[in-house]
Amino acid sequence: MYYSKIMKNDTVNCIDGIVVSLFMSGCPHHCKGCFNSETWNPKHGTNVLIYNLIDELEKDISEFDVYRDFSVLGGEPLADYNIFHTNCIIKSIREKFPNIKIYLWSGYNIGEIREMNTYDILTNINYLIEGRFVEELKDSNLKLRGSSNQHIYENQKGKLIDVTDKIQNNLTI
């Protein structure tokens, strides 16, 4: 599988704290104004065996006994050529670190995601940030999102609940 990059101490792609962020390679959406367009190519970046990548991510999450949360971005983690690997990575991370927060970004909207084979992924994440980036709706004041059409869902006992307004307004979740 290919991935674009790993950020070991990312403070942007999370609600609070520090995350290890994995940027997957490949994106079918090609959103105008995308900040990460180099990841559109499914073979961009590093080619790695999935179990080697999982080992590296697990070490990064717990490096120096500082436990970080985990974010999966893109590219598009739920593209048909990434979904299997995304599932393996998230399930392995959740098994090894049951108490960390896991975030997943997807350009697909919630309706499209629910039609995909994503049950295992969605049950193992804490937050889903969904929707294509729309340059005309870009707003640098948005939390976890690039454009105002995108939504943030929290996994609450297996149900995805839209918490966009709560997070944007700093309300306790």
Question: Tens of pLDDT along 49-84?
Answer: 999 999 999 999 999 998 999 999 999 999 999 999
Q: pLDDT at position 172, please?
A: 55
The answer to whether 31 and 107 are in contact (CB under 8 A) is yes
Under DSSP, is residue 105 helix (H, G, I), strand (E, B) or coil?
Answer: strand
- Residue 86 in contact with residue 72, Cβ under 8 Å? yes
* φ and ψ at residue 23, rounded to 5 degrees: -100, 110
Q: What domains are defined for the chain?
A: 2-168 (3.20.20)
At residue 173, does pLDDT exceed 60?
Answer: no
Average pLDDT over residues 85-104: 97
More confident residue, 78 or 171: 78
- Residues 19-46: pLDDT tens digits? 999 999 999 999 999 988 999 999 999 9
Give the mean pLDDT of the chain: 95
Mean pLDDT of 107-114: 95
Note the pLDDT of residue 117.
87
- pLDDT above 70: percentage of residues in the chain: 98
Q: Reply yes or no on whether the pLDDT at 17 is more than 80.
A: yes
| Alpha helix stretches (DSSP H) within the chain | 50-62, 83-96, 110-115, 119-124, 164-168
